Amino acid sequence: MKNLTIPEEELMLPGHTACLGCGATLAMRYALKALGKNTIVTIPACCWAVIPGVYPARTLEVPLLYTAFEVTGAAISGIKNALEATGNDDINVLGFAGDGGTADIGIQSLSGAVERGENVFYIMYDNEAYMNTGVQRSSSTPKGAWTTTTQVGKVRDWKKEKKKNMVEIMVAHNIPYAATASIAFPEDLIKKLEKGKNIKGPKFYHIYATCPTGWRISPSKTVEIARLAVESKVFPLYEVDHGVYNITYMPKKNVSVKEYMLPQGRFRHLTEDEIKEIQSEVDKDWNLLLEKEKWTQSLNKVQ
């Protein structure tokens, strides 16, 4: 029998208030399984500001500080420094923010915290738009997507810009550890967080978190779509450990971008040609990632 690698302890209780099929709940559940009880979490404005429940209910079994939208990087810095000032250096401090709170309004305080080398965990759970306010475009919304602020309408005003690459932005900060992870690959996700416990300094995780409500899919397809995102190379699983790239899951099936997009209502307006264009961009990014892996690993060997 194969050993189970996912810890059994649940630090996220049932009874949360998320939508059916919410991927972000899985992201939190797995993250806490990996980090354990000895963790303080801070959450800014985002879906997860609501998911723990209305006062006095709380679905998390760890200390939780709610903060304003743009301050996750500053909040984890404050908690960590206060702990260090009182000799409690061994407690994990986790900032858990959405894509808008990370890639848009919160990027400044995140950049500050990472540049200062704060010894903290930062998770961006990415549902690819402002979902808590009702599906508005963020800089992490993928090219091609409909949102309530990038509507298709008569002139086809869907999002034309590519998704912001937060891992690359973190790498540019010389961050000790940055990784992508997916709710469809919990073993990989947990392994990466556990690895982070042994790395001093900031750790950044970009976690793909399906949003059935905003993506116009059935809540039963949450994990399936997340799996297709990885298999189609739309969302590759990799880590950058002290500058060295490592692809942690090599897609096994030959899944096209079209197969990934087809079940999702948010992409239904795209023409064959438009999907082809996105496919070629995905291919290019994947090849670039392969080259980065090869190159940085070769540099590492030279050293």
Partner 1 sequence: MKKMLTGNYASAYGAKVSKVKVVSAYPITPQTTIVEKIAEFIANGEFDGKYIRVESEHSAMASCIAAENTGVRTFTATSSHGLALMHEMLHWASGARLPIVMSVVNRSLGPPWSIWSDQQDTISQRDTGWMQIYTENNQEVLDSIIMAYRIAENEIVMLPAMVIEDAFILSHTMEPVDIPDQADVDEFLPDYNPKFKLDVSEPMGFGSLIMPEGPFMEFKYKGHESMNNALKIIDETDILFKKKFGRSYGGTVETYKLDNAKYALVMMGSTASTGKEVVDKMRDEGYEVGLLRIRSFRPFPKDKLRNYLSNMKSIGVFDRSYTFGYGGAVFSEVRNTMYGKNIPIKGYIGGLGGRDVTMNLIEKIFLDVVNMSEKGQDKDYEWVGLNGDKRWSQ
Nearer to partner 1, 115 or 157 (CB): 115
| Whether the bond into 56 is cis, omega within 30 of 0 | yes
* Strand ranges, E, within the chain: 39-43, 64-66, 92-98, 121-126, 177-182, 203-208, 238-241, 244-247
Answer yes or no whether residue 19 interacts with partner 1 by CB under 8 A: no
Q: Which of 55, 254, 272, 273 lies at the binding interface for partner 1 (CB under 8 A)?
A: 55
Q: CB 267 → partner 1: shortest distance, Å?
A: 32
Answer yes or no whether residue 236 interacts with partner 1 by CB under 8 A: no
- Give the other-Cβ count within 10 Å of 3's Cβ: 4
Answer yes or no whether residue 296 interacts with partner 1 by CB under 8 A: no
The binding track of 105-124 with respect to partner 1, each residue x by CB under 8 A or -, is: ---xx-xx--xx--------
- Give the binding-site size for partner 1 (rule: CB under 8 A): 44
Contacts of residue 4, defined as CB under 8 A and 6 or more positions apart, other chains included, come to none
Give the whole-angstrom CA distance, residue 181 versus residue 128: 14
Q: Point out which residues pair with 217 in neighbouring strands.
A: none
Answer yes or no whether residue 77 interacts with partner 1 by CB under 8 A: yes
Answer yes or no whether residue 140 interacts with partner 1 by CB under 8 A: no
Contacts of residue 14, defined as CB under 8 A and 6 or more positions apart, other chains included, come to 59
Q: Which of 20, 82, 152, 262 lies at the binding interface for partner 1 (CB under 8 A)?
A: 82
Q: Which of 6, 13, 19, 68 lies at the binding interface for partner 1 (CB under 8 A)?
A: 68
Answer yes or no whether residue 85 interacts with partner 1 by CB under 8 A: yes
Nearer to partner 1, 204 or 235 (CB): 204
| Residues 128, 67, 95: CA angle, nearest 5 degrees | 60
Nearer to partner 1, 31 or 145 (CB): 31
Instruction: Produce one character per residue of 286-295: b if its CB has 16 or more CB atoms within 10 Å, e if not.
Output: beeeeebbee
Helices (H) and strands (E) in the chain, counts: 10, 8
Binding site for partner 1 (CB under 8 A): 37-40, 42, 49-50, 52-56, 58, 60-68, 70-71, 73-79, 81-86, 91, 108-109, 111-112, 115-116
